[in-house]
Every structure is written in C-alpha cells, then in structure tokens.
Amino acid sequence: AQKITQTQPGMFVQEKEAVTLDCTYDTSDPSYGLFWYKQPSSGEMIFLIYQGSYDQQNATEGRYSLNFQKARKSANLVISASQLGDSAMYFCAMREENRDDKIIFGKGTRLHILP
C-alpha cells in the first residue's frame, strides 16, 4: 500500500492565486516528519518545508505553508500568491522515526502557473 498519496497528477492555476497541493499519508508510527520538495524542469530537488508529527503549529516558510491535519493524516502544501516560477513538480515525503533516516516520496503533482 502507498504510504504517501498525492491524488493530483497535474494542476493548472492562474498566476497570483493561492494553490493547495494535496498529500495524505499512512503510518502507525506516532513520531514522524513530513517534507515537501519542489522539482523544476531543470531537475534539482529543492527542500521547501518540514512538519513534525508533534509540532503544535502548522509550518510556514515564506509563501509556503503546510496545512497539517493529523487526525486525517493529511499534510497539504499551500502556496500563496502563486508566481510563474512556481511551475514545477512537487513531492510530498515522509520520514518515520522507526525507519532510520529514510524518506518515502509520493509520486508528485505537476503544477502549472498560467500568466
């Protein structure tokens, strides 16, 4: 069974609008961490934001925020005021405490920002 599910293979959004990229996860480990990465067409993977399972507040980094709903096992990425440069592939990932330092990645969502 998939541990990380990203249900949106692709999205088209108008520039300056807010974007929500969905991510659900599956784990029985009480301690885990969630990551979001951005991959532009050039190929490099860029770390965006992290949320720990025990963090009381949703993580924020500039225009990125993570809508963490623990009971739903949901960790959606929100990008405010989207820009053309946000067009990329976005990956949700999870690290489980009992699985050392390995990270499991979802299959990604390709985001297209329209001018």
Return residues touching other proteins (CB under 8 A): 31-33, 35, 37, 42-47, 50, 52, 91, 95, 97, 100-103, 105-108
Distance of closest approach, residue 16 Cβ to other proteins, in angstroms = 28
Rounded Cα distance between 27 and 43, Å, is: 29
How near is the Cβ of 106 to other proteins at its closest, in Å?
6
The residue among 44, 25, 51, 49 whose CA lies nearest residue 89 is 44
CB of 18 or CB of 46, closer to other proteins: 46
Please calculate the CA angle 75-22-11 and round it to the nearest 5 degrees. Answer: 150
Considering beta carbons, is residue 37 or 113 the nearer one to other proteins?
37
Of 86, 83, 93, residue with least CA distance to 36: 93
Q: Which amino acid is at 9?
A: P
If the CB atoms of residues 4 and 19 are measured against other proteins, the closer one turns out to be 4
Q: How far is the CB of 3 from other proteins (least distance, A)?
A: 11
